[in-house]
Copies of this chain bind each other. A is one copy, B any other.
Amino acid sequence: MSPNDQIELRRMRRKKKSNSTMKDVADLAGVSVSTVSHVINGTRYVEDSTKDKVLSCIAELKYSPNIIAQRLNGLNLKTIGVLVSNLQGSFFHRLVSSLSTLANKNEYDLLVCDSAENTELEKRHINTLLKKGIDGLIFAPVDHKTHYTELDQRTVPFVQVDRVSDSCKSDYIGINNYLQAQLITRTLIERGCRRIGFVRTEGSRYRGERLSGYYQSCNDAGIYDEALIIRVSTDSSNEKEILEWYRKQSPVDAVICSNADICYKVLHSLDRHLTTESSTVIFSFDNNKWFDLLQFPLLSLDQPIELIGRMAFETLLSRIEGNDDPFKKIFVDCDIVNL
């Protein structure tokens, strides 16, 4: 076996199941690869007869360009990274599915990662996403105080959603967590609530603008009581914990839940206590279609997740296309709904 054969063999083995390449097309059509390339991309004039020939060869070989190779030459991969802090939760589910719809429309794909409220994992994801060559990133930081060095180098544009990191500058789309929390708390106070509980997520290392807003309003009204704040972890079941807390702090006029999944936990724990002996109002920071079917005294913030998704996506797209305007923080409006 000649050396050439050996090489050929190796080549076959390595690309055993590979698709046809531009060279194949060029050979078949009897033109050069550059001509093929230009036919495909319309990057320069090609005589109609050659163009036709090339086109028909492309069809014959069912050729389609290798995006990886294109990307290596600096082109867009048409992929955007989505890095959220908790994919399990319904908020990010809705966000991701809204983004996915937009991606479909714009011929992008989504590289979806879950940092699971873990800064180490988050860091790893940012690195691999960057290395995999995404064109942009939609990002919900785990922690307000992490410094995202890789992102600061801005090899790629990104926008933040839902939460903001103190240190990394970018566009932000979401509600104004602080103000909304303040507003909500005030609303409850106006309804006559005095003892207002706040359930925050255990796992999250996020500072909690929501908590600050809550604190502010309580303090203004002179009803702040630290004992009314409880941390609940996202994963484990903490029914007993919550129930105990609730009993010990009784009477609790209202409970503010930092998101719909926490709200579920609270409802589940307090279940019969809510329907019968008490008049505690439950408030959730995001809602969920299932809320409609529930029988509890429930209030919630109606975050326009679709809108957030859309604005984030569009902002990112414009950045990808080179928009260099100063960064914007866009706070979307949302209503308190009474269920």
Contact = CB atoms under 8 A, between A and B. Distances in A.
Interface stretch (A113-121, A135-143, A240-248, A249-257): A113-121
Interface in A1-46: 1, 5-6, 9-10, 12-19
Given A109-B128, A290-B264, A293-B264, A155 B19 contact: yes
A201 interface: no
A114 B131 CA distance: 24
A111 interface: yes
Nearest to A149: B62
A71 B69 CA distance: 9
5 contacts: A67-B132, A87-B100, A101-B116, A110-B111, A267-B293
A74 B5 CA distance: 20
A229 to B, nearest CB: 24
A33 to B, nearest CB: 16
B97 A6 contact: no
Nearest to A10: B324
Contact of A1 (B79, B88, B267, B326): B326
Interface string A263-276: 01001100100000
B109 A110 contact: no
A15 to B, nearest CB: 7
A77 B9 contact: no
Interface of A: 1, 5-6, 9-10, 12-19, 64-69, 71-72, 74, 77-79, 87-88, 93, 96-97, 100-101, 104, 107, 109-114, 116, 121, 125, 127-129, 131-133, 153-155, 169, 264, 267-268, 271, 288-290, 292-296, 324, 326-327
Contacts of A6: 324, 326
Contact of A104 (B17, B104, B107, B114): B114
A131 B13 contact: no
Contacts of A69: 72
A27 B13 CA distance: 33
B74 A72 contact: no
A216 B56 CA distance: 50
Q: Which 6 A-B pairs have the closest CB atoms?
A: A290-B290, A112-B112, A93-B93, A100-B114, A87-B97, A17-B155
A88 B97 contact: yes
A68 B111 contact: no
B64 A131 contact: yes
Contact of A79 (B13, B64, B111, B296): B111
A284 B283 CA distance: 28
A41 to B, nearest CB: 16
A264 to B, nearest CB: 6
Among A68, A79, A264: residue with most chain B CB under 10 A:
A68
B71 A68 contact: yes
Contacts of A93: 93, 97
